Structure 1
Amino acid sequence: MGRRRCALLEAVFRERVEALCALARDLTSRADTRAALLEWLSAVTASARWSRHCPGNGTPPGPAAEAARLLGLTVAGISPRQD
């Protein structure tokens, strides 16, 4: 992988981590801490899924993708139903 591509991916990943940190800070003020945690975990799962399948990654889905999928199912299973 070339230096430019590595630098670009590093910048993108850094932005994604910073966005997750900002979301965590915003969610700390929520009265419903369970819902806030579930929202953050969903964002982490989405970020992990994106990272694993980002364009040009060239890495087939593996244990990390499966872990992200299982975490997503867990979050969905304990989330309040939206009827």
Structure 2
Amino acid sequence: MFFMKGSPDEPKCGFSSKVVEALKGENMSFGSFGILTDEEVRQGIKNFSNWPTFPQLYYKGELIGGCDIIMELSESGDLKALLYLSK
């Protein structure tokens, strides 16, 4: 699940846009939630993850990371391996 500003079709920040591009570049399907639409969910996710910023990518209920981490994983090829090998 990808918690982001905006939607995959219309990201509302550059960081969300970069992660969407990385995920689509890996041909990964993913669900998303636009955190700007619900302040309660936004704050709840921040508290749950102990991560103050968005976007946030989760896999099997675990926080993978934000934009910088996802971009590093994508560039190294580890994002695809992490998500596909842990199925």
**Common topology (TM > 0.5):** no
Structure with bigger RCO (C-alpha 8 Å, 6+ apart): 2
* Structure number having the greater helix percentage: 1
> TM-score normalized by structure 2?
0.26
Bigger radius of gyration: 1
* Structure number having the greater strand percentage: 2
